[in-house]
A and B are shown apart, each in its own frame.
Chain A
Amino acid sequence: MSGWRHPTLGTEIDRSEPRRAKVDWTPIDGFAGDTLASALLASGPRTIARSFKYHRPRGLYGFGAEEPNALFDVVRDGVTEPNARATLTPLEHGLLARAVNATPTAERDRHRWLDLLHQVIPAGFYYKTFMAGGWHLYEPRIRAMAGLGRLDPNTTPPAEVQTRHATCGTLIIGAGVAGLVAARKAVDAGEEVWLIEQSAHLGGALRWRGGVIDGALWWDFVEDTRARVLASGGKILTGTTAWGAFDHGLIAAHQAEAHLHWQIRPGRTILATGAVERPLWPAGNDRPGVMSAEAAHYYLTLYGAVAGRRIVLATGADSGYATAAALAQAGAVVTLADRRAETPDAPTGVRHLTNQRLQSVQGRRELFGVTLNDAFHSADTLLVSGGWTPSVHLHCQAGGKLDWDAGKDALVPRAGTSHMEVVGAANGAFGLGAALVEAGVTSADTTDWHWHPVRPYPEQRGRIWIDLQNDVTLKDVKLAAREGFTSVEHLKRYTTLGMATDQGRTANFTGLAAMADATDRTIPETGTTTFRPPVQPLALTVLGGRRRGDLFNPPKRLALEELHRTAGAQFREYGGWLRPSAYGEEERDAALSEAQAARDNVAIYDASPLGKLEVIGPGAPALLDFAFYNRLSTLEPGRARYAFLLQESGIVFDDGVVLRPAEDRFIVSASSAHVDAVRFILEDPRQDRFDPSQVAIHDVTQAYTTLTVTGPRAQDLLRAAGIATDIPHMGLEEVTLDGFPLRIARISFTGDRSFELSVPLPKGPALHARLESARTKLNGHWIGLEAVMILRAEKGYILVGKDTDGLTMPQDLGWGGPRDRREDDYLGRASLRTEAANAPDRRQLVGLRVDGEALPVGAHLVPLEGPRRSLGFVTSSHDSPALGRPIALALLEGGAARIGQSVGVFQDGIVQTATVTAPCAFDPEGERL
C-alpha cells in the first residue's frame, strides 16, 4: 500500500462528499468526483487485477482508455458491466466491483500457480497443444482459467440508448489544447462547430499540467472557448467517445450519460485526439507499482492521489520533468532517471540522474526497487515514460495512412490521406508549446517534447511484457519472428498482441518495434496493423439501441385488433402482420371447428393485410401485361383475374388477384408479405420501360380494412347486414353504404362463395358492427388464419414461398397456358422457354392422400423401390374436417404424370406410402363458388 491521498490537492474531488464502493468485497473510500481508479490508487491495495493468461498480479497502470490492467466486472443498479475500466468508472456509493480473471480476489487468486508454468506456455501454446480430439474438449477448462470479465446471465442491460442523426459544419474530436484552438479558429471563420470530448471536461492535459495560452491562464482560455463555441450556435458533447469513422465522413459517437448514440455527418472533421504515453521495458515491468508517469501526474493534480512515497521516474522524454517536479512538490521522494546525457534542467527537489539505463524491477508481491545501470535503487513506485504514440485510430479508420518520422520517433498521419485534418499531439506536435506553434498561436512556451527512442533491450534477462493486457512478452514476439510470423498482422494473430480491450494502446508500437528489431527491418518496413472500429470497447446495447423485445421487429397491426381480441382471438405473426390465428383457447381445436363452420354455414375473417396496389392511368394495361404472366389488358372493367408475377428467371415471385374497377384503374392484391417487393417490381418497368407519366402506382394497403365473408350462407349474411349484391364469381363493384365507399369483390381463397368487403380504415368498425350483428343472427363464426390455411389447402390453393420454392415456375403449378399462348413479352418469358424449364423431371405441385396421421411438412418424397433419393417434399399438411382425413400439398418430381400412383414419404428413418392426387381435394368442380 504505497499510494496516498494528498491533504489538499485534487481539483476534481469534493472532500465534503465521501463515497464508498466495494472492490472484491473490501470497502474502498473516496470522494465525489473520484474514479474507481483514483480511489484505489489513493487508498487501496496495489494488486487489483490478475493477468489474462498467467494470472500475474497487476496494478493500475494508466488513466484513460489505454488502461490495460484495472478491469472490473462492475455491478450498478443490479446490472453488470463486464470489463469496465476503473479509469473510466466514476466512484459511486454502493458500486460493486469484482476483479476479472481472479478467484476469489485479485490478491488471493487461486490460479496464481499458472505463472510458474510460463516457460512451457508461450504464445501459440494452445494452438500447438490442444489439438488431439478437438479444441472443444479443452475449451471449457481453459476458458475458466484464462480470460477477462464474466457476463451475468441473470441480468439484461437496459435497451435505453437512442440513436440520433445530425449534421454539423466542423466537427472537432478532442478538446485538449489543439482541439480548442482549432475550435476558436473555426468559430472565427464563421463555422458551426461541434466539439466532442471523451472526458467530462474540456482542456485535456491542461487540466493537470496547466499552461498559458496566448497570454491567458488555461482555465480562462478553456471557458472563453466554450462560450465562443456555444455563442456561435455550436454544440459541445462531453463524456462522449467518437468510436468510429465510416464511409463518406460519418462519425459515430457514444454520449454515455445521456444514453445517446450519435451519427454525425460533419462538413469538415478535425482530429485532436492527442497521444498515449509509451512505457519502458525493464524486466518485470508488469509488477504492481509500475505506472505511466503521465498517469501519476493526472491522478496527483485532479484527485490528490499520489502514486507512491519513494518514486523512481524513469524516462527518455522531456514530458516527465514537470511530473517529477509536481510529485516532489507534493511531498514524494523522487529520483528522475533519464536515459539521455543531454537533458533539460533538473527540477528543484528532485534527485536527477542522467545516462541511466533502466534494467529491471525488483519485488515479489510489492515493488521494492529498480536497477539502473546495474545499481539497485530502493523505491516503492516506478513511473515510466518512453515517449508518445499519436492516437490516430479515426484517421486510419477513415483510410488515412501513416508516415514514420524518425526525428519524432513516431508514426504520424500523412496529410491528405483521410478526409480529416489531424492536429496537436495526434499529428506529432507533442507538448503544449509544439501544439501552439503548430496552430500558429503566439506563446511564451515554444518547446517541443523530445525523447530518446528507447526500445526493449534484446539482451536483457528476465521477462519483459509488451502487452500487459494479453500477457504477451518480448520472448513471445521473438518466438513469432523465429516461427515466421513476421508480418505485424500475423504477429497480432499469433500472439494476440494488441487484441484486448485496450486495443494495444500501450503495446502496439512496442510490438511493432520489437518485431522490426527481431527481423532487422525498419519500422516502416515492418508496417502497422489495420485500425478498425470501435476505437475502444463499445457495449452492444449502444449499437442495438432500442431495438429489443417488442421494438426489435415490430409487426404491423390490424385496425380492428381490439375487436378481435374481444371476440377471443389468439394472435400470431403472418408475413409481418399480427393477425388472429384462431378464436379460442386451444388454437388447433379452434381452427378445426372454425374450418368446419366455414364449410357448413358462414364465417368472417380479417383480410386487411392483403395487398392493394392501385395501378392507375392510360398506361396501366400495358404495364401490367408486361409485368404479369397472365394478360390483364383483356380483363373487363368490373372483373377480377388470378395472376402470377414472375422474376426474370421465370420463378414464381407472387400470385394474387388483380381487380379492374375501371378501364384505367387496376388493384393488384399482392400477398400480404410481398406488397413492397411487388410494388418495386412494377415500378421498375414503369420508370425504365414505359412512359411514367401515363401510369402511377400507389400502395394503399394500409388505408383499408378488408373483411371477407365466406361460406354457403355468405350471401345471406351480407343480406342480413344490409349489403345487397348480385355480382358473379370474380366480379366486383364499388357502392356506397351509410355514406362510405364500400368495395365488394367476389373472390374466393377458401373454395366457398366469398365476398371481400373493403372500406377506408376509419369505417372499419362500422363495417365490423354490421357484419357482427348479422353473424350473430346466422350463428356464423369469426375464423383465424389457421382455419383459412386449412380451407385453402383443401382446395389446392398455394401460398407462394410455402408451396413453391426457388425453382417453381407457373407451369409447375398447372398454369402452362399463358406460356404456350402469349406471343407478347413479359417478365420471365424467355426463362420459361429454356430447356430446364421444359424438363420432364421438374417438381410439380400435387396433392397427397394418406390415412391416419397428417404428414409432416418438409418430409421428403422418395421412390418406393430402387435407390432412395429425394423426389420432392411436403409443402403443406393439415387435418381436413370437411374431408374427415389428412390432406397435403407437395412438390414432386414429374408430379403431374404420377397422379394416381404411390410415393414414399420419408421421415425420421421411416417410409410411409401416400397416394399422389391432384392438388385440389375439395369440390374439384368448383360448384360451391
Chain B
Amino acid sequence: MQRFPCPFCGPRAETEFHFAVEAGHPRPDGAPSDADWAAYLYDVDAPKGPAREMWLHVTCGTYFLMTRDTQTREILGAEDLG
C-alpha cells in the first residue's frame, strides 16, 4: 500500500485518498467549443513515469497537487493549492 503526503496531515495510507484529476488541463471557462470542452472532460495523458495529478485526502478534505512516478511509484512531491 502506497503512502501519500497530504500537505495538511502528513504521510497517510493510500486508501485515505481519492484520485481527482490529472493536473495541467485547466477548465475552459466561458463558452468553449465542443471539441475543447470534450478534450477537457475526457482527454488524459496517463503518462508512464512522472505524472502531476490532483488528489483528495478524503479524511481532511484537502485537494492537493502530487507528482509521482506511475512506474516506480516514487512520490516526487506534493503541493497544496494555496
Could you list which residues of chain A lie within 8 angstroms of chain B, going by C-beta atoms? 165, 246-248, 250, 263, 265, 648-649, 676, 679-680, 683-684, 687-688, 692, 697, 825, 830-831, 833-835
B63 touches A687 (CB 8 A): yes
Cβ of B45 within 8 Å of any chain A Cβ, yes or no, is no
Residues in A neighbouring B27, C-beta threshold 8 A: 648
Apart from A247-B3, A680-B61, A687-B81, what are 19 other A-B pairs with CB-CB below 8 Å?
Answer: A165-B13, A247-B1, A247-B2, A247-B73, A248-B3, A250-B3, A265-B3, A649-B41, A680-B18, A683-B61, A684-B56, A687-B63, A688-B54, A692-B82, A697-B61, A825-B29, A830-B31, A830-B32, A831-B41
Residues in B neighbouring A684, C-beta threshold 8 A: 20, 56, 63
Question: Shortest Cβ distance from A697 into chain B, in angstroms?
Answer: 8
19 sample A-B contacts, Cβ–Cβ < 8 Å, listed by A number: A165-B13, A247-B2, A247-B3, A250-B1, A648-B40, A649-B41, A680-B18, A683-B61, A683-B63, A684-B56, A684-B63, A687-B63, A687-B81, A688-B63, A688-B81, A825-B29, A825-B30, A830-B28, A831-B37
A834 touches B30 (CB 8 A): no
In angstroms, Cα B69 to Cα A213, docked, is: 45
Residues in B neighbouring A833, C-beta threshold 8 A: 31
Given A247-B73, A688-B81, A835-B34, A263 contacting B1 (CB threshold 8 A) = yes
Residue in A165, A265, A648, A835 whose beta carbon sits within 8 Å of that of B41 in the complex: A648
Cβ of B62 within 8 Å of any chain A Cβ, yes or no, is yes
Residues in B neighbouring A831, C-beta threshold 8 A: 37, 41
In angstroms, Cα B55 to Cα A688, docked, is: 12
In angstroms, Cα B14 to Cα A303, docked, is: 46
Question: Shortest Cβ distance from A921 into chain B, in angstroms?
Answer: 37
Residues in B neighbouring A834, C-beta threshold 8 A: 34, 37
Question: Nearest chain-A residue to B20 (Cβ)?
Answer: A684
B37 touches A830 (CB 8 A): yes
A248 touches B1 (CB 8 A): yes
A248 touches B81 (CB 8 A): no
In angstroms, Cα B34 to Cα A281, docked, is: 70
In angstroms, Cα B12 to Cα A250, docked, is: 12
Residues in A neighbouring B63, C-beta threshold 8 A: 683-684, 687-688
B2 touches A248 (CB 8 A): yes
Question: Nearest chain-A residue to B82 (Cβ)?
Answer: A692
Question: Shortest Cβ distance from A706 into chain B, in angstroms?
Answer: 23
A680 touches B56 (CB 8 A): yes
Could you list which residues of chain B lie within 8 angstroms of chain A, going by C-beta atoms? 1-3, 13-14, 18, 20, 27-32, 34, 37, 40-41, 54, 56, 58, 61-63, 73, 75, 81-82
Among A687, A692, A833, the most chain B Cβ lie within 10 Å of the Cβ of A687
In angstroms, Cα B32 to Cα A648, docked, is: 13
Residues in A neighbouring B29, C-beta threshold 8 A: 825
B41 touches A248 (CB 8 A): no
Residues in B neighbouring A697, C-beta threshold 8 A: 61
Question: Shortest Cβ distance from A823 into chain B, in angstroms?
Answer: 10
Residues in A neighbouring B14, C-beta threshold 8 A: 247
In the A-B complex, the 3 residue pairs with the smallest Cβ-Cβ separation, listed nearest first, are: A247-B2, A830-B37, A248-B3
Residues in A neighbouring B32, C-beta threshold 8 A: 830
Residues in B neighbouring A247, C-beta threshold 8 A: 1-3, 14, 73
Residues in A neighbouring B37, C-beta threshold 8 A: 830-831, 834
Residues in A neighbouring B75, C-beta threshold 8 A: 248
Residues in B neighbouring A246, C-beta threshold 8 A: 1
Question: Shortest Cβ distance from B44 into chain A, in angstroms?
Answer: 14
In angstroms, Cα B14 to Cα A265, docked, is: 13
Given A265-B3, A830-B32, A835-B34, A687 contacting B73 (CB threshold 8 A) = no
Question: Nearest chain-A residue to B14 (Cβ)?
Answer: A247
Residues in B neighbouring A676, C-beta threshold 8 A: 58
In angstroms, Cα B72 to Cα A905, docked, is: 54
In angstroms, Cα B3 to Cα A910, docked, is: 56
Residues in B neighbouring A687, C-beta threshold 8 A: 62-63, 81
Question: Shortest Cβ distance from B13 into chain A, in angstroms?
Answer: 8
Residues in A neighbouring B2, C-beta threshold 8 A: 247-248
Question: Nearest chain-A residue to B65 (Cβ)?
Answer: A688
In angstroms, Cα B62 to Cα A697, docked, is: 12
Among B30, B37, B62, the most chain A Cβ lie within 10 Å of the Cβ of B37
In angstroms, Cα B30 to Cα A825, docked, is: 6
Question: Shortest Cβ distance from B79 into chain A, in angstroms?
Answer: 12
Question: Shortest Cβ distance from A688 into chain B, in angstroms?
Answer: 6
Question: Nearest chain-A residue to B42 (Cβ)?
Answer: A649
Question: Nearest chain-B residue to A689 (Cβ)?
Answer: B27
In angstroms, Cα B59 to Cα A680, docked, is: 11
Residues in B neighbouring A648, C-beta threshold 8 A: 27, 40-41
In angstroms, Cα B41 to Cα A834, docked, is: 13
Question: Nearest chain-A residue to B3 (Cβ)?
Answer: A248
Residues in A neighbouring B62, C-beta threshold 8 A: 687
In angstroms, Cα B31 to Cα A926, docked, is: 37
Residues in A neighbouring B30, C-beta threshold 8 A: 825
In angstroms, Cα B41 to Cα A165, docked, is: 38
Question: Nearest chain-A residue to B33 (Cβ)?
Answer: A830
In angstroms, Cα B37 to Cα A834, docked, is: 9
Question: Shortest Cβ distance from B28 into chain A, in angstroms?
Answer: 7
Residues in A neighbouring B41, C-beta threshold 8 A: 648-649, 831
Question: Shortest Cβ distance from B66 into chain A, in angstroms?
Answer: 13
Question: Shortest Cβ distance from B27 into chain A, in angstroms?
Answer: 8
Question: Shortest Cβ distance from A653 into chain B, in angstroms?
Answer: 14
Residues in B neighbouring A688, C-beta threshold 8 A: 54, 63, 81
Question: Shortest Cβ distance from B11 into chain A, in angstroms?
Answer: 9
In angstroms, Cα B28 to Cα A7, docked, is: 86
Question: Shortest Cβ distance from A441 into chain B, in angstroms?
Answer: 35
Question: Nearest chain-A residue to B30 (Cβ)?
Answer: A825
In angstroms, Cα B64 to Cα A692, docked, is: 13
Residues in B neighbouring A692, C-beta threshold 8 A: 82
Among B27, B28, B40, the most chain A Cβ lie within 10 Å of the Cβ of B27
In angstroms, Cα B79 to Cα A797, docked, is: 43
Question: Shortest Cβ distance from A612 into chain B, in angstroms?
Answer: 16
Residues in B neighbouring A248, C-beta threshold 8 A: 1-3, 73, 75
In angstroms, Cα B30 to Cα A248, docked, is: 42
Question: Nearest chain-A residue to B62 (Cβ)?
Answer: A687
Question: Nearest chain-B residue to A648 (Cβ)?
Answer: B41
In angstroms, Cα B18 to Cα A199, docked, is: 39
Question: Shortest Cβ distance from A894 into chain B, in angstroms?
Answer: 22
Residues in B neighbouring A250, C-beta threshold 8 A: 1, 3
Question: Shortest Cβ distance from A122 into chain B, in angstroms?
Answer: 40
In angstroms, Cα B40 to Cα A197, docked, is: 53
Question: Nearest chain-A residue to B64 (Cβ)?
Answer: A687
In angstroms, Cα B14 to Cα A402, docked, is: 29
In angstroms, Cα B24 to Cα A637, docked, is: 39
Residues in B neighbouring A825, C-beta threshold 8 A: 29-30
In angstroms, Cα B15 to Cα A263, docked, is: 13
Residues in A neighbouring B81, C-beta threshold 8 A: 687-688
Question: Shortest Cβ distance from A544 into chain B, in angstroms?
Answer: 16
In angstroms, Cα B56 to Cα A830, docked, is: 25
In angstroms, Cα B31 to Cα A835, docked, is: 14
Question: Nearest chain-A residue to B34 (Cβ)?
Answer: A834
Question: Shortest Cβ distance from B41 into chain A, in angstroms?
Answer: 6
In angstroms, Cα B30 to Cα A542, docked, is: 53
In angstroms, Cα B58 to Cα A684, docked, is: 12
Residues in A neighbouring B56, C-beta threshold 8 A: 680, 683-684
In angstroms, Cα B27 to Cα A263, docked, is: 40
In angstroms, Cα B68 to Cα A718, docked, is: 58
Residue in B3, B13, B61 whose beta carbon sits within 8 Å of that of A679 in the complex: B61
In angstroms, Cα B34 to Cα A540, docked, is: 49
In angstroms, Cα B13 to Cα A165, docked, is: 10
In angstroms, Cα B32 to Cα A150, docked, is: 62
